Amino acid sequence: MTPITDLFIIGGGINGCGIARDAAGRGLSVTLAEQGDLAQGTSSASTKLFHGGLRYLEYFEFRLVREALHERETLLAAMPHISWPMRFVLPLSPEMRFDATTPTSRLLRLIGLGDRRPDWLIRLGLFLYDSMGGRKILHATATLDLTNDPAGRPLKPRFAKAYEYSDCWVDDSRLVALNARDAALRGAIILTQTRVTDATRSGSLWTITTQTAAGQQTHQSRALINAAGPFVAQAMRLAHSTSTEGVRLVRGSHIVTKKLYDHDRCYFFQGTDGRIIFAIPYEQDFTLIGTTDQDHQGSLGEVAITPAERDYLLAFASQYFAEPVTARDVAWSYSGVRPLYNDGAKSATAATRDYVLSLEGSPPLLNVFGGKITTYRRLAEGALAKLAPHFPALKPAWTARVPLPGGDFHLADKARLAEALCHAHPFLTPEWSARLIRGYGTDAAKILGTATSPEALGLNFGATLTEAEVRWLMTHEYAAHAIDVVWRRSKLGLRLTGDEVEDLEVWMQGIGPEM
């Protein structure tokens, strides 16, 4: 007899895994199916920020910005290992203009103030940014003299003044994996490499068919959640949805370059075309630059940066950095497709970043459109609020500030944890220890166990990646292939050779049956 679950979730990105965790913690039985790896698509291709979305103020998206700003510190408290505060430097320039599609730009033109972002308006936006979000941990906006501040040294001399404000970094793909792990610890069933091929209403239940390498499976559930990200429209068709709501697919691309400057702050750059990009310290030895906003028309199978997008980011950054950023500086690039709610906006940049939850029929189908990494937890609460009438015994919301696995410590204690790990395992270098704490927090000690030497951790795959860590990722975080380990559970792909990654893949497939 096919077991019946309360919720069946399609999609193992941040929205699907966040909903699974929240629902499992409220006493619902949950099954989640992901056709590939967790965070394989959009959720590992973000700009890696918990942020309010300063530029969204220009579109008057005050509800979204307020919610995101409040969430920054809530999330920091729950995951101090994979997230931390950052300061953002916004150089001022008289040449920088609005995106012509923003309500703010249209209003300023109407009253005769042109289409340039005036400094006073930027400062007003930052005042709102500081004031709307219940800020307690993060520092307020400050004004910088770039002629004296270290943040001015990598920039062209014409940038003399900047504002500096706070937002937060997050390891996006690890965020997804840890939500899935916590959901499983609370009773959820997480199925990766599992493709949904059909979903049909059968009386009061959904009957869902899935396909894996082992064959076809059948599941039944009381509610179906479509959190398939860029594949949301395909999943709607599989579920025979009658909704007329649509999705707008917008590609965001990033480049990772050699390290462009020595300090630990980020840059917020305004373009002469009205857009903005970030330049962010990345993995200690690199700089992350992005993102683009392009309507995506191609396949969702292999999403990649185009030469035009790469050149756009290089030229944009070179408007600010004293040393031009060139293609020779690029070490890696990545792209993701954002499944935005189709609100009819004139440009991809102007399309809303707010999420929309659409409930239809009985048994219920909940379609999830859009969303941001920063608001995933609130989205999950909203999804369960929509479904609450179908589950009278649903427990109250609970996830605010509740630690993810490994996050049961205070942000200020991160350095102390790394030192303690080195003390317990003297063979670790400070860099190795810090990487483990940034990835696993207090679980790092569980991975190392009683090891007193590197050899006790098994095979060394390079760049401090050991057999013990890979086994942990396979048994606790659903990693099935080398690419899952080196590009999503970590970013060690930046440091490993192609041969080392291939050797890891051979080893992982060889031990699969043993796990």
Q: Which pLDDT tens digit goes with each residue over 418-436?
A: 999 999 999 999 999 999 9
Determine the average pLDDT of the residues in 384-388: 98
Query: Coil, helix or strand for 189?
Result: strand
Closest CA to 443 of 415, 411, 476: 476
**Higher per-residue confidence, 103 vs 226:** 226
Q: How confident is the model at residue 123 (pLDDT cuts 50, 70, 90)?
A: confident
pLDDT of residue 114: 46
Where in the sequence of the chain do the CATH 3.50.50.60 domains occur?
Answer: 4-43+173-245+352-390
Rg, the chain, Cα only: 23
Question: Contact 171/439 with Cβ under 8 angstroms?
Answer: yes
Give the tens place of pLDDT for each residue, 327-348: 999 999 999 999 988 877 656 6
**Spacing of C-alpha 235 from chain mean position:** 22
Where in the sequence of the chain do the CATH 3.30.9.10 domains occur?
Answer: 83-168+248-341
pLDDT of residue 398: 98
Q: Which two tokens stand for residue 47?
A: 């700009």
**Higher per-residue confidence, 112 vs 132:** 132
CATH topology (fold) of 83-168+248-341: D-Amino Acid Oxidase; Chain A, domain 2 (3.30.9)
Q: Measured over all CA atoms, what is the biggest interatomic distance in the chain, rounded to whole angstroms? A: 72
Give the tens place of pLDDT for each residue, 152-181: 999 999 999 999 999 999 999 999 999 999
Residue 449 and residue 472: Cα distance in Å, rounded? 11
Determine the average pLDDT of the residues in 15-41: 98
Where in the sequence of the chain do the CATH 1.10.8.870 domains occur?
Answer: 411-514
Residue 148 and residue 62: Cα distance in Å, rounded? 35
Residue 462 and residue 485: Cα distance in Å, rounded? 13
Q: Which two tokens stand for residue 78?
A: 């729950």
Determine the average pLDDT of the residues in 97-117: 53
Cβ atoms within 10 A of the Cβ of 306, count?
A: 14
Average pLDDT, the chain: 92
Architecture of domain 411-514: Orthogonal Bundle (1.10)
pLDDT of residue 108: 44
pLDDT over threshold 70, residue 350:
no
pLDDT over threshold 60, residue 196:
yes
Architecture of domain 4-43+173-245+352-390: 3-Layer(bba) Sandwich (3.50)
Determine the average pLDDT of the residues in 501-515: 85
